[in-house]
Amino acid sequence: MKLDKTEMKILIELQKDGRLSRRMLADRIDVSTPTVSSKIEKLENMGIIEGFRVEIDHRKLGFQKYFFKIESEGKTEEEIREVFAGSERLRQIEKLEGSGFLLTLFINDFSQLDKATEYLEKEDGIKIKEVWRTQDEESKIPNIPLDENVPLDITCYYCNKPIKGEPEKWKKDGKEHYFCCSSCADLYEEKYEKIKEKWSGE
Ligand SMILES: [Zn+2]
């Protein structure tokens, strides 16, 4: 079971612009507005479209991407994250070889850069090795590009394998679940009932 051409086109257009109205979408891909609406509903039910969010280009707000290469003996990723006390500026921590970490921060003024440096410096067991910044394209978080000519398989909700042929459908709590075979559907239902029991028993 694959997404059809219309569904692919809807996803491609929405990736380009999530604010397109259903009517504008219909115009662009040359189908009727009700078709677009029902396709979007289906894609939402399947969890393929998770919501329409506004994408922010941080560069336009003056943010730049900074990298901090640090050395830290015995600190975990979690502990390093705590240094920034949940600040949104810290975007990513990557473990490097040995005791190294690479931190990615989005910073839009020098006082914030000083602060980040200060936080790291006064923390025992952390040494800043290198700091550099980039203004390149990747500071915008990219979407994965879709190609309408490369078919996307819908995967089984239980075993995650691509569904060949007609799916087994199961509707629960307003969500439609698709399975590759009836035994996956049964196994999932069993699991679902068990979880439900557990929660209602508490
Ligand atoms: Zn399956």
In the reported structure, the alpha carbon of residue 147 is separated from the centroid of ligand 1 by a whole-number distance in angstroms of 26
Name the pTM for this structure. Answer: 0.43
In the reported structure, the alpha carbon of residue 166 is separated from the centroid of ligand 1 by a whole-number distance in angstroms of 12
In the reported structure, the alpha carbon of residue 165 is separated from the centroid of ligand 1 by a whole-number distance in angstroms of 12
Q: Which residue has the higher pLDDT, 122 or 136?
A: 122
In the reported structure, the alpha carbon of residue 133 is separated from the centroid of ligand 1 by a whole-number distance in angstroms of 46
Mean pLDDT of the chain: 80
**Averaged pLDDT, 133-153:** 59
Per-residue confidence at 29, pLDDT binned at 50, 70, 90? very high
In the reported structure, the alpha carbon of residue 2 is separated from the centroid of ligand 1 by a whole-number distance in angstroms of 15
Question: Token digits for 130?
Answer: 């290198």
In the reported structure, the alpha carbon of residue 38 is separated from the centroid of ligand 1 by a whole-number distance in angstroms of 25
Whether the predicted pLDDT of 138 surpasses 70: no
In the reported structure, the alpha carbon of residue 145 is separated from the centroid of ligand 1 by a whole-number distance in angstroms of 27
Of the listed ranges 16-30, 91-105, 149-163, the one predicted with least confidence? 149-163
DSSP string covering 71-129: EESS--HHHHHHHTTT-TTEEEEEE-STTEEEEEEEE-SHHHHHHHHHHHHHSTTEEEE
In the reported structure, the alpha carbon of residue 197 is separated from the centroid of ligand 1 by a whole-number distance in angstroms of 23
- Tell me if 50 sits within 8 A of 175, measured CB to CB: no
In the reported structure, the alpha carbon of residue 39 is separated from the centroid of ligand 1 by a whole-number distance in angstroms of 23
**Averaged pLDDT, 39-51:** 82
Predicted confidence at residue 61, as pLDDT, reads: 61
Q: Could you tell me the domains of the chain?
A: 1-54 (1.10.10.10), 58-139 (3.30.70.920), 153-202 (2.30.170)
**Cα 188 to Cα 171: distance, rounded to the nearest angstrom:** 12
Predicted confidence at residue 30, as pLDDT, reads: 95
Percent share of the chain, pLDDT over 70: 78
Whether the predicted pLDDT of 143 surpasses 80: no
- The per-residue pLDDT for range 7-25, each reduced to its tens digit, is 989 988 888 888 888 999 9
